[in-house]
Amino acid sequence: MSIEQREARQPWILLTPALTAVLLLLIVPLMFIVVYSFWLKSAAGADTPGFFLDNWQETLTDPFYRDILLNTLKIAAITTIVCGLLGYPAAYFIARSKGNKAVLLVLLMLPFWISYIIRTMSWINILGVSGALNAAMLWLGVIDEPIQMLYNETTVILGLTHFLLPFMVLNIFVSLDGIDTNLEDAASSLGATRWQGFLQVTLPLSLPGLAAGGLLCFVLAAGTYITPVILGGPRDAMFANLVYEAIIRQLDWPLGSALSLLLLAVLGVLVLIYNRYLGMAQLAKGLG
Amino acid sequence: MGWRLIRIYTILVYLFMFLPIAVVVLLSFNANQFGSFPMTGLSTRWFETLWNNDAIMRAFRTSIVLGLMTAAISTVLGVLASLALVRYRIPGRNLITTLLIAPILVPEVVLAVALLLFLNFLNFGKSFTLLLAGHVIFTLPFVILVVQARLVSIKRDVEEAALSLGASPMQTFFAITLPLLMPAVAAGGLFAFTISFDDITGTLFWKPGGIETVPTQIFSMLRNSISPEINALGTVMIVLTVGLPLIGAAIARTLATRSGA
DSSP state of A48: B
Please say whether the beta carbons of A253 and A179 come within 8 A: no
Please say whether the beta carbons of B134 and A25 come within 8 A: yes
The reply to whether B49 falls in a domain is no
Distance CA B183, CA B251 (A): 8
Based on the domain organization, do B71 and B150 belong to the same domain?
yes
Distance CA A229, CA B223 (A): 9
The reply to whether A160 falls in a domain is yes
SS3 content of chain B, % helix, strand, coil (to 5): 80, 0, 20
Distance CA A208, CA A218 (A): 15
Mutate to test the interface with B, among A6, A25, A273, A274 (most CBs of B within 10 A): A25
pLDDT above 90: percentage of residues in chain B: 46
Task: Give me the CATH number covering residue B223.
Answer: 1.10.3720.10
HEC profile for A250-273? CCCHHHHHHHHHHHHHHHHHHHHH
Sign of CA dihedral B155, B157, B160, B165: negative
User: What ipTM did this prediction achieve?
Assistant: 0.90
Based on the domain organization, do B75 and B108 belong to the same domain?
yes
Phi, psi of A257 (to 5 degrees): -60, -45
Distance CA A55, CA A41 (A): 9
Maximum Cα–Cα distance across chain B: 72
| Residues 45-74 (B) with a CB less than 8 A from some CB of A | none
pLDDT digits (tens, 9 = 90+) for A73-118: 999 999 999 999 999 999 999 998 887 888 888 888 888 888 899 9
Phi, psi of B87 (to 5 degrees): -95, -10
Based on the domain organization, do B99 and B123 belong to the same domain?
yes
Kindly give, in sequence order, each residue whose CB lies less than 8 Å from that of residue A117, ignoring residues fewer than 6 positions away.
A226, A230, B198, B200, B215, B218, B219, B222
pLDDT at B134: 97
Q: Which residue of A has its CA nearest to B110?
A: A260
Based on the domain organization, do B177 and B154 belong to the same domain?
yes
In this prediction, residues B99-124 reach a mean pLDDT of: 93
Distance CA B118, CA B161 (A): 47
pLDDT digits (tens, 9 = 90+) for A33-60: 999 999 988 877 778 888 999 999 999 9
- Number of alpha carbons in the 13 Å side-chain half-sphere of residue A232: 18
Residue A171 has pLDDT above 70, yes or no: yes
Beta bridge partners of A48: A40
Long-range contacts of B162-171 (CB under 8 A, 24+ apart): B169/A10
Based on the domain organization, do B97 and B169 belong to the same domain?
yes
pLDDT band at A284 (very low <50, low <70, confident <90, very high): low
pLDDT band at A3 (very low <50, low <70, confident <90, very high): low
Q: Is B30 helix (H, G, I), strand (E, B) or coil?
A: strand
**Cβ contacts of B76 on chain A, cutoff 8 Å:** 17
The reply to whether A34 falls in a domain is no
Based on the domain organization, do B38 and B112 belong to the same domain?
no
Task: Give me the CATH number covering residue A57.
Answer: 1.10.3720.10
pLDDT band at A167 (very low <50, low <70, confident <90, very high): very high
Between the CA of residue B70 and those of A278, B103, B186, what are the distances in Å?
33, 15, 13
Kindly give, in sequence order, each residue whose CB lies less than 8 Å from that of residue A152, ignoring residues fewer than 6 positions away.
A232, A233, A236
**Cβ contacts of A222 on chain B, cutoff 8 Å:** 107
pLDDT above 70: percentage of residues in chain B: 93
Based on the domain organization, do B3 and B91 belong to the same domain?
no
Based on the domain organization, do B108 and B6 belong to the same domain?
no
Distance CA B125, CA A35 (A): 19
pLDDT at A288: 47
**Cβ contacts of A258 on chain B, cutoff 8 Å:** none
pLDDT digits (tens, 9 = 90+) for B1-50: 588 999 999 999 999 999 999 999 998 888 776 666 667 778 888 899 88
Count of the separate structural domains present in chain B: 2
Distance CA A209, CA B10 (A): 18
Based on the domain organization, do B134 and B211 belong to the same domain?
yes
Distance CA B194, CA A133 (A): 32
Please say whether the beta carbons of B203 and A91 come within 8 A: no
Residue A183 has pLDDT above 60, yes or no: yes
CB contact under 8 A, A225 and B222: no
In this prediction, residues A27-32 reach a mean pLDDT of: 97
Look up the domain containing B5 and give its range.
1-43
Look up the domain containing A170 and give its range.
53-287
Between A19 and B40, name the one with better pLDDT.
A19
Q: Which residue of B has its CA nearest to A253?
A: B117
**By C-alpha distance, which of B188, B190, B155 is closest to B82?**
B188
Distance CA B48, CA A80 (A): 41
The reply to whether B48 falls in a domain is no
pLDDT at A6: 67
Kindly give, in sequence order, each residue whose CB lies less than 8 Å from that of residue A194, ignoring residues fewer than 6 positions away.
A184, A188, B2
CB contact under 8 A, B101 and A93: no
Based on the domain organization, do B65 and B2 belong to the same domain?
no
Distance CA A105, CA A249 (A): 42
> Across chain A, what does the average pLDDT equal?
90
The reply to whether B88 falls in a domain is yes
Residue B259 has pLDDT above 70, yes or no: no
The reply to whether A57 falls in a domain is yes
CB contact under 8 A, B234 and A115: yes
Query: How many helices (H) and strands (E) would you count in chain A?
Result: 15, 0
The reply to whether A32 falls in a domain is no
Beta bridge partners of A40: A48
pLDDT at B261: 43
Nearest to A264 among B85, B106, B116 (CB): B106
Nearest to B107 among A36, A135, A263 (CB): A263
CB contact under 8 A, A18 and B78: yes
Based on the domain organization, do B107 and B227 belong to the same domain?
yes
Phi, psi of A232 (to 5 degrees): -100, 165
Distance CA A77, CA B233 (A): 33
pLDDT digits (tens, 9 = 90+) for B179-202: 888 888 888 898 899 899 999 999
Distance CA B232, CA B46 (A): 6
CB contact under 8 A, A247 and B205: yes
Q: How many CB pairs under 8 A join A and B?
A: 248
CA distance A10 to chain B (A): 8
Residue B53 has pLDDT above 50, yes or no: yes
Sign of CA dihedral A4, A5, A8, A14: negative
pLDDT above 90: percentage of residues in chain A: 59
CA distance A242 to chain B (A): 10
pLDDT band at A234 (very low <50, low <70, confident <90, very high): confident
Which of A34-38, A51-55, A180-184, B103-107 bottoms out in mean pLDDT, i.e. has the lowest? A180-184
| Residues 164-223 (B) with a CB less than 8 A from some CB of A | 169, 194, 197-198, 200-201, 204-205, 214-215, 218-219, 222
A116 alpha-carbon distance from chain centroid: 13
The reply to whether A161 falls in a domain is yes
In this prediction, residues B160-167 reach a mean pLDDT of: 86
The reply to whether A29 falls in a domain is no
The reply to whether A64 falls in a domain is yes
pLDDT band at A260 (very low <50, low <70, confident <90, very high): very high
Count of the separate structural domains present in chain A: 1
A54 alpha-carbon distance from chain centroid: 30
pLDDT at A111: 85
pTM for this model (two decimals): 0.90
Based on the domain organization, do B132 and B29 belong to the same domain?
no
pLDDT at B79: 93
Distance CA A231, CA A235 (A): 11
Residue A1 has pLDDT above 60, yes or no: no
